[in-house]
Amino acid sequence: MAVNDRELMQTYDTLQVLSPEGKVLAEEASQLTAEMKRTLFEKMLSCREFDEKAMKLQRQGRIGTYASYKGQEASQVGSAMALEPMDWLFPTYRDHGAGWTHGQDWSRILLYWMGHPDGSITPDGLRIMPQAVPIATQLLHAVGTGWADKLDGKRHASIAYFGDGATSEGDFHEALNFAGVFQTPTVFFCQNNGYAISVPFSKQSASETIAQRAQAYDIKGVRIDGNDIFAVYLTVKEAVERARNGGGPTLIEAVTTRYGSHTTADDAKKYRDQEAVQASWAEKADPVERLRRHLLQEGLLTEEAEADMTEAVRKKVDEALETAESYPKPTRESMFEHVYESASWMAEEQREQRGSTR
């Protein structure tokens, strides 16, 4: 079958459960209770609050470079909410909303961006891996933990987060191939925001979608609206349950748009057409606003309740900042620690060249 065959492409049409206007479009939404919907909303509010705060802290010089996820809250919260506590989570440098939803502290995430090694410590008992900066490497690790669990007869899933750019790396293809052959309990969760720094997806790949690449490895591929938290939650839930029950891996492409630049060290205005970005937002609707509309229409949220929620999440983020800022500044020496069990000769040489200044 030719790859561009229309029938095949329809398999990868973008699933939407909640319309940009906040209307339910699919029967499956009935699985979500009112309480669950309010929880999803509160978590997205918290993620938005954290991200906006972190951007301000960077501008004030209180944290280093920062990678914002604003606009991707539905993808991150919806996917992490679908996990069980003992599932493994492999984030990138941008998936703070997912890590926090799965149990990481905001204070640790701030510490990471302050350059503190304690920023990569996960609360006891949780399997949240340190943020992966080398693109796509974490996909192989997620396949590895899944395979180990499978061999041990444990029923856990592993989810790996990555962007569209990561799908051009060899590691992506190796991970999908291995996962397909060994039927590992892995969920590959791609947030496709259309850009890998300045490279648009059209210049990156000839495939129309990322989800269709699952076909090559004979695994399930699904394309969803990544700004629709119901579609994200329900799709990931199904994928982790399939993984847990021996049904093998899934590749999920969550199509989304990020408001900001790649990081605070980048200026997207130089390469992203601002009008197209605005149009895309108008069409897709902000993920927080979309769920807000739904809750208001269904009588599940009042303006007073929202104001209380906003105040509560703000307080939590402020407390996390206080905790992070109470830590002593990291020493330069800490750069050489926690990478290998014993230092490599290259690290030793660099440590010596550095001298003894803090």
Ligand X SMILES: Cc1ncc(C[n+]2csc(CCOP(=O)(O)OP(=O)(O)O)c2C)c(N)n1
Q: Of residues 262, 290, 293, 294, which has the active-site annotation?
A: 262
73, 48 contact by CB (below 8 A): yes
Q: Least CB distance from residue 249 to ligand X, whole Å? A: 19
What DSSP state is assigned to residue 262?
Answer: S
For this structure, is 48 an active site residue?
no
Work out which of 107, 131, 193, 261 binds ligand X, going by CB under 6 A: 193
Residue 181: count of CB within 10 angstroms of its CB:
11
**Is 191 or 250 the residue whose CB approaches ligand X more closely?**
191
Work out which of 43, 70, 94, 293 binds ligand X, going by CB under 6 A: 94
256, 227 contact by CB (below 8 A): yes
Work out which of 91, 119, 165, 226 binds ligand X, going by CB under 6 A: 165
Work out which of 17, 114, 175, 196 binds ligand X, going by CB under 6 A: 196
Work out which of 3, 8, 86, 197 binds ligand X, going by CB under 6 A: 197
68, 51 contact by CB (below 8 A): yes
CA–chain centroid gap for 328, Å, is: 29
Residues 103 to 122: which contact ligand X by CB under 6 A? none
* C-alpha atoms less than 13 angstroms from C-alpha of 227 in its C-beta half-sphere: 23
Token couple for 137: 């490497």
172, 216 contact by CB (below 8 A): no
Q: Of residues 62, 127, 244, 271, which has the active-site annotation?
A: 271
Q: Least CB distance from residue 162 to ligand X, whole Å? A: 6
Does 200 engage in binding with ligand X (CB under 6 A)?
Answer: no
Does 166 engage in binding with ligand X (CB under 6 A)?
Answer: yes
Work out which of 163, 180, 185, 226 binds ligand X, going by CB under 6 A: 163
Does 164 engage in binding with ligand X (CB under 6 A)?
Answer: yes
For this structure, is 292 an active site residue?
no
Q: Least CB distance from residue 163 to ligand X, whole Å? A: 2
What angle (nearest 5°) sits at the alpha carbon of residue 176, between those of residues 175 and 182? 90
Helix axes 34-59 and 303-325, enclosed angle (nearest 10): 40
CA–chain centroid gap for 127, Å, is: 15
What DSSP state is assigned to residue 134?
Answer: S
Site stretch for ligand X (CB under 6 A), options 6-14, 164-172, 307-315, 340-348: 164-172
Give the span between the Cα atoms of 29 and 24, in whole angstroms.
7
Label residue 311 exposed, middle or buried (CB < 10 Å: 0-12, 13-18, 19+).
exposed
108, 118 contact by CB (below 8 A): yes
**Is 107 or 227 the residue whose CB approaches ligand X more closely?**
227
Using CB atoms, what's the residue nearest to ligand X?
Answer: 163
User: What is the tally of helices (H) and strands (E) in the chain?
Assistant: 13, 8
Does 96 engage in binding with ligand X (CB under 6 A)?
Answer: no
For this structure, is 262 an active site residue?
yes
Does 95 engage in binding with ligand X (CB under 6 A)?
Answer: no
Site stretch for ligand X (CB under 6 A), options 31-39, 44-52, 133-141, 144-152: 133-141
Site string (227-266) toward ligand X, x via CB under 6 A = -----------------------------------x----
172, 224 contact by CB (below 8 A): no
Q: Least CB distance from residue 334 to ligand X, whole Å? A: 21
The catalytic residues are: 258, 262, 271
Which residues here bind ligand X, judged by CB under 6 A?
94, 133-135, 162-166, 193, 195-197, 262
